[in-house]
Amino acid sequence: MSESDVGKALLKVDALDLAGVSDTQQLTWKILEHDRRLVRRLTILTLVIWLMAAGMVGFVMIAFGFLFPMQAKLTNETELVKIDPKQRASLEQVYRQTFQMLTVLIAFSVLVLALAALTTVRLIFASRRATLRQVNASLIEISRQLKELRTAAAPPPEPKK
């Protein structure tokens, strides 16, 4: 039985069925530790992807912030006849290529943003499942403790005469 199967069984099992079983208790703690590691890894991955997406969007915005004024300057200098047509053509080619590369980077940024959103949803589901398993494990422990209290508080059977 894999950890996934045991985890699903743990979610479905009644707390009284598992109370006081040490093997099951150890397995439960292994599953909870696995959930903690998974949530931690997903949190780091999600954070890295969001930072990468924000960095890419910021880079594209800054790059366009430099590109558009350079194109305007080229148009202005052409009107003032400060540069010859050959230079203008080569600069326009460079600006066009830069614009095309930034457009591809925008598409890639959208892809990274979508990936960030998907990892966020995955993190939410993993976190919710881990929380539910922790609650179930706590209920199992409480059930075990209540069972021990009942047996300790029960009066001893009276001897027969």
* pLDDT beyond 90 at 160: no
- Give 91-137 pLDDT, tens digit per residue: 889 989 999 999 999 999 999 999 999 999 999 999 999 999 889 88
- Sequential DSSP letters for 86-101: HHHHHHHHHHHHHHHH
Residue 154 lies in a domain: no
Other residues' Cβ atoms within 10 Å of the Cβ of residue 145: 12
Output the six-digit token pair for 137: 């494990």
Q: How confident is the model at residue 80 (pLDDT cuts 50, 70, 90)?
A: confident
CA distances from 126 to 48, 77, 137 (A): 18, 58, 16
Q: How far apart (Å, rounded) are the C-alpha atoms in residues 56 and 114?
A: 13
Residue 55 lies in a domain: yes
- Sequential DSSP letters for 108-133: HHHHHHHHHHHHHHHHHHHHHHHHHH
Residue 159 lies in a domain: no
Residue 104 lies in a domain: yes
Q: How confident is the model at residue 16 (pLDDT cuts 50, 70, 90)?
A: very low
Range of the domain at 43: 3-147
Residue 101 lies in a domain: yes
Output the six-digit token pair for 100: 């095309």
- Give 28-67 pLDDT, tens digit per residue: 888 889 999 999 999 999 999 999 999 999 999 999 999 8
Residue 40 lies in a domain: yes
Q: How far apart (Å, rounded) are the C-alpha atoms in residues 133 and 20?
A: 17
Query: Quick check: 49 and 116 in contact, CB under 8 A?
Result: yes
Query: Quick check: 102 and 59 in contact, CB under 8 A?
Result: no
- Total domains, the chain: 1
Residue 65 lies in a domain: yes
pLDDT at 2: 59
Residue 11 lies in a domain: yes
